[in-house]
Amino acid sequence: MVTTITVVAGGWLLYEIGGFEDGFMETRFGIVLTIGMTSGIIAWVWGAIKYAPIGKKVEAVMAEIGDGEADAEQVERLDGLRAQNTRAGYVSMTLLVIALVTMTIARNVGI
């Protein structure tokens, strides 16, 4: 929910600064902002695609375990899901760092 609000707010801010007018995206400022926005939106979509299914699988395994002890097969499945979540996290973090850096330096590249 928070990520969706952030993406929508970013679109609104772009509209407010005239980002949808002709020629804006051809400026250095517009290009750097576009790289950051694109990276942020890809991270948002990536999170929706990757984290939700992994979370549901973890919940299913945890429901199987209940209050008891996990057997070797369940531990192996949870370890695999943890590894998938870690890889997805690396991709998300990379995309978000790109978004953060480009949007931070955008104001310094000039309009």
pLDDT band for position 78 (cuts 50, 70, 90): very high
End-to-end Cα separation, the chain, in angstroms: 32
State the DSSP string of 1-69. Answer: -HHHHHHHHHHHHHHHTTTTSTTGGGSHHHHHHHHHHHHHHHHHHHHHHHHHHHHHHHHHHHHHHTTS-
Per-residue pLDDT tens over the stretch 8-56: 887 787 777 777 777 888 888 888 888 888 888 898 899 889 988 999 9
Entry pTM: 0.75
